[in-house]
Amino acid sequence: MSRPNTQARPSTGSTGPVDGRRPRPGTTRRRLVCGGLLAAVVLAAVALVWALRSTTAPATPRPAAARPTQAPSDVLTRQIEGLQRQLKTQPEDYVGWGTLGIDYIQQAKDTVDPAYYPKAEGVLQRSLRLNTADNFIAMAGMSDLRAAQHNFTEALSWAQRANLIDPYNSTVYGALADAYTQLGRYDDAARAVQHMVDLQPGTPSLTRAEYVFELRGQVDQARAAMGRALDDATSPAEQAFAHYYLGELALANGDPAGALAEQSAGLRADPGYPDLLEGRAKAEAALGRPQAAVRDFATVVARVPQPQYVIEAGEYLESLGRTTQARQDYDLFAAEMRLFTSNGVQLDVEPTLFYADHGDPALALRYGAAGIAARPFLEMDDAYAWALHVNHRDAEALTWADKAMATGMRNALFAYHRGIIEKSLGQRAAARHDLSQALALDPAFNPLQAPLARQALDELGGPG
């Protein structure tokens, strides 16, 4: 989750925004001009893409902080152009090169165009060649880049290097928390978030704290933390971000009307925040408003074709019997997979679940095995369990499904997957319990899978 943030140590002479990504979005990007240079304590993009959620909705990683991706900002575009002009006359400016790299990463996220990632790599490496000693700006940028590429081990390493240089920078603790989360090191992530809160008890730390609570299944505490983040929001984008995740919490806990209210409030605060349309579409679908849901899904896919959102739109269309339109979305997802792979980004949860649910078990298992090796996060644990299940390896699958639910996170899709795996193993009582839990948490958790959960529960004799 991301929020503007200032450094807690005044002796640095600079402040910087946070664009922490919680395997779901970015934030306002504030910068100071210091001695004619853009002070890139612009760690605005330090964190996770969780992009995809995340990153997130279990199909996308949701690092401990992020905002829904937004349409490309004119301000950001102008800033990139200004930096490019500046660096032609000041090629030794390592701060400028580091800032440009962070801006390229943000542009990649805003446009869902991974071609910006190689550009970011080039300018960040140039910044580091100019200053390898204490260039925590470029190190933070490299952490963000590696996270965006789903290389969370290297993301953590770069964040740790930045933290050694400036252990009082709350933004860097956000990057640490995000990487620890995606690597399944939840206690380490919680400690990093606590450091953030201690250093800067503002929106960036509160939104990450919300996710710590959510991962533990502490929904009331998570809602309270996000409510505080909303109270602390200082811009329409920050308000929209908080409303989006309050809506996600409501929907994940069986309150689609509350979710719709939150997403609508977010759109009133910031009508240009496209991810709110995705949240609104899911709430409308759950409330049985297909016309509105189809419209909002189509709009968000046209504006911000996040792989997760493309799949969600396609599966909803398929559930309505609109198979030709659904196939168009699935073809778009396949094209995006090729684009991301060619630019050094390896998606994991999305393709694993997609191919498991759409008739290619071998490919699902291949993505699942690669994903679990790179990102042992609970969403990947669940996806890998499902890939094993569709390959008839249910005993192994149950181990990973148990791991996905070990933190106590309340997630209907996780419960559904484990329930079906248990049913396949003949564990009828456990299967009834988990399938009942899935439908109690969110009766519309997936337009294609929720009806299968009800059918399986009926076969088992009803709720457990």
The predicted-structure confidence for 36-56, as pLDDT tens digits, reads as follows: 222 222 222 223 222 222 333
Task: Kindly state the average pLDDT of the residues 430-442.
Answer: 97
Report the C-alpha gap between 102 and 119 in whole angstroms: 10
CB-CB neighbours of 253 under 10 Å: 17
Task: Kindly state the average pLDDT of the residues 349-362.
Answer: 96
Both structure tokens of 60: 């996308």
Report the C-alpha gap between 375 and 464 in whole angstroms: 33
At CB < 8 A and 24+ separation, what contacts does 164-168 make? 165/134, 165/136, 165/139, 166/7, 166/9, 166/12, 166/136, 168/7, 168/8, 168/9, 168/12, 168/199
Report the C-alpha gap between 381 and 88 in whole angstroms: 47
What is the architecture, at CATH level 2, of domain 10-316?
Alpha Horseshoe (1.25)
CB burial string 271-287: b at 16+ within 10 A, e below: eebbbbbbbbbbbbbbe
Q: What pLDDT sits at residue 54? A: 30
Q: Is the pLDDT of residue 24 over 70?
A: no
Q: What percent of the chain has pLDDT over 90?
A: 70
- The set of residues, in sequence order, having a beta carbon less than 8 Å from that of 41 and lying 6+ positions away, is 7, 12, 14, 15, 16, 32, 137, 169, 171
CB-CB neighbours of 43 under 10 Å: 32
Q: Is the pLDDT of residue 12 over 80?
A: no
Q: What pLDDT sits at residue 464? A: 67
- Reported confidence tier of residue 342, pLDDT bands at 50, 70, 90: confident
Q: What pLDDT sits at residue 111? A: 82
Please tell me if the domain spanning 10-316 has the same topology as the one spanning 348-459: yes
The pLDDT tens digits of the residues spanning 101-131 come to 999 998 888 888 888 999 999 999 999 999 9
CATH topology of domain 348-459: 1.25.40
What sign for the dihedral angle of Cα 189, 190, 193, 195?
A: negative
Report the C-alpha gap between 162 and 140 in whole angstroms: 6
- Reported confidence tier of residue 412, pLDDT bands at 50, 70, 90: very high
Look at residue 47 and give its three-state secondary structure: coil
Most confident of 20-34, 223-237, 426-440: 426-440
Q: What pLDDT sits at residue 25? A: 28
CB-CB neighbours of 15 under 10 Å: 19
Q: Is the pLDDT of residue 31 over 60?
A: no
Higher-pLDDT residue of 178 and 33 is 178
Domain ranges of the chain: 10-316, 348-459
Q: Which amino acid is at 135?
A: N
Both structure tokens of 127: 């910044």
- Reported confidence tier of residue 63, pLDDT bands at 50, 70, 90: very low
Tokens 């829904």 sit on residue: 68
Q: Where are the alpha helices (DSSP H) in 23-93?
A: 74-89
Higher-pLDDT residue of 60 and 352 is 352
The pLDDT tens digits of the residues spanning 212-267 come to 999 999 999 999 999 999 998 888 988 999 999 999 999 999 999 999 999 999 99
Q: What pLDDT sits at residue 21? A: 31
Report the C-alpha gap between 327 and 298 in whole angstroms: 14
CB burial string 299-336: b at 16+ within 10 A, e below: bbbebbbbbbbbbbbbbbbbbeebeebbebbbebbeeb
